[in-house]
Amino acid sequence: MIHVVGAGVAGLVAAQALLKAGRPVTLHEAAPGAGGRARALPDGTDNGTHALIGANRAALGFLDAIGARAGWVEPEPDGLPVLDLDDGSRRLVALSPLGWWRRDRRPAGVSPAAVAALAALALPGRDRTVAQAMARHPAFLRGFVDPLVIAALNTPTAEAGTRRLAQVLRRLGAPGATRLFVARNGLGPDMVEPALAAIRALGGTVVPDDRLRKLDRTNSRATALHLHSGTVALAPEDRVVLAVPPWEATRLLTHVEAPMEHAPIVNLHFARTGPGPVRFVGLLGALCQWVLVRPDGVAVTVSAGDAEAREEADSLAPRAWREIRAAAQAFALPGEWPEAPPPCRAVKERRATPRQRPGPIPAPRRRHLENLVLAGDWTWPHLPATIEAAAQSGLAAAREAA
């Protein structure tokens, strides 16, 4: 038996891959539902807007494997609508620099020197903050690099490391790499539920509310799992995939190289229903960075929102709604956009992702014990913590454990 502990993306991907390879799997999840940091709340609301790009091959491959790929739509195929609230200017921006040959798809502040400076960051070099590296190009930093870094690293440019950004930049050149996808109906119906259905259809067992409290081990092997549902003594042929967040891995195991500092993401979900396709709008000079409009609601994202994570939802909501209305007006989004904010729900994920500062990138050994391998976004040193990193780590863990 292979015990996969943690049903976030990494655990779901590992479980599905192991079952596909013919191995028996039990998936133990501490929470009542699966999905981890990419989950639907009990009322169906996403914990936060999750976007994928075409470069996320493992994540998109997983969606294909579980029959959920069609639920991920490309809201802005012609370029990302971006509204600058400081001066009211609006534009469509190609997410790939290759698209900037079109004048009407360029971000603010772009110049040959600025693009060269950004391209240089993709090459191996000194690790420093992105703000330091791009200091000579403040308009481009604000108009393109800031939003890119916040989206990819969940860390402001004044803090984010260039080595981490380089990992992202190097993946953006391939054809289709910057196509942006979001779940049409939400993370529940478009990822988590199909993943659980696929795992069960392959003969896997999923046990919710089954926290791993403690793990017994000798020097080289895990010997027992003390789960909420009871203790499992591990037979010689059993394996464990530990797909939990870093703070849980360091609690359960010793000597794990794991990130210790995390950055929050705040999402505000407005109960505004309306017609029209899914839309995705970027904001500059605003509280919120992204507006996601779906027929059943509007959500805004405040990444790296240290101050906002401490602020009351009642004071955030009217500010966010004003920004949403401005975006709706600027890009003629269909439907009603009343002045008064609709009911709003705030979801604050205080440990959304590790802070991606300059410095060594943790690279924990995948096979931590003879019969235990690690998975999770933080265990994949080749990318910042994202769905793609979680999916890649799940595939790697499945290969090791099979």
Binding site for ligand FAD (CB under 6 A): 5-11, 28-31, 36-38, 47-48, 50-51, 211-212, 243-245, 248, 265, 267, 349, 352-353, 376-377, 385-388, 390
Looking at the DSSP assignment, which residues form a beta bridge with residue 35? 8
Three-class SS state of 65: helix
Residue 266 CB, nearest distance to ligand FAD (Å)? 8
Query: Is the separation of the CB atoms in 176 and 24 below 8 Å?
Result: no
222 vs 229: CA distance, rounded Å: 18
Of the pair 114, 302, the CB lying nearest ligand FAD is at 302
Nearer of residues 328 and 387 to ligand FAD, judged by Cβ: 387
Of 280 and 337, nearer to ligand FAD (C-beta) is: 280
Nearer to ligand FAD, 9 or 398 (CB): 9
Q: CB-wise, 9 or 195, nearer to ligand FAD?
A: 9
Q: Which is nearer to ligand FAD, 133 or 182 (CB)?
A: 182
Distance of CA 214 to the CA centre of its chain: 28
Contacts of 96 (CB under 8 A, 6+ apart): 172, 173, 177, 178
Shortest distance, CB of residue 340 to ligand FAD, whole angstroms?
A: 26
Work out how close the CB of 139 gets to ligand FAD at its nearest, in angstroms, rounded to a whole number. 26
Cβ proximity to ligand FAD: between 5 and 134 the closer is 5
CA-to-CA dists, residue 239 to 91, 253, 309, angstroms: 52, 16, 39
Give the CA count within 13 Å in the CB-facing half-sphere of 255.
Answer: 7
Six-digit token pair at 186? 């939400």
**Would you say 102 or 367 has its CB closer to ligand FAD?**
367
Beta carbon of residue 258, minimum distance to ligand FAD (angstroms, whole number)? 12
| Whether 379 contacts 253, CB under 8 Å | no
CB of 263 to ligand FAD, least distance (A): 10
Shortest Å distance, C-beta 320 to ligand FAD: 15
Token pair of 68 as six digits: 């959920």
The encoded tokens of residue 139 equal 């308009």
CB of 273 to ligand FAD, least distance (A): 22
3-state secondary structure of 218: coil
Integer Cα distance of 45 and 20 in angstroms: 30
- Cβ at position 111, least distance to ligand FAD in Å: 29
Q: Could you tell me the smallest distance in angstroms from the CB atom of residue 389 to ligand FAD?
A: 6
d(CA 88, CA 171): 32
What span, in angstroms and rounded, lies between the C-alpha atoms of 184 and 106?
A: 27
Return d(Cα 102, Cα 369) in angstroms, integer.
53
Assigned token pair, 189: 């119906």
Identify which of residues 8 and 364 has a Cβ nearer to ligand FAD in the complex. Answer: 8
Cα distance between residue 356 and residue 151, in whole Å = 12
Dig out the tokens for 221 from the structure: 């092997």
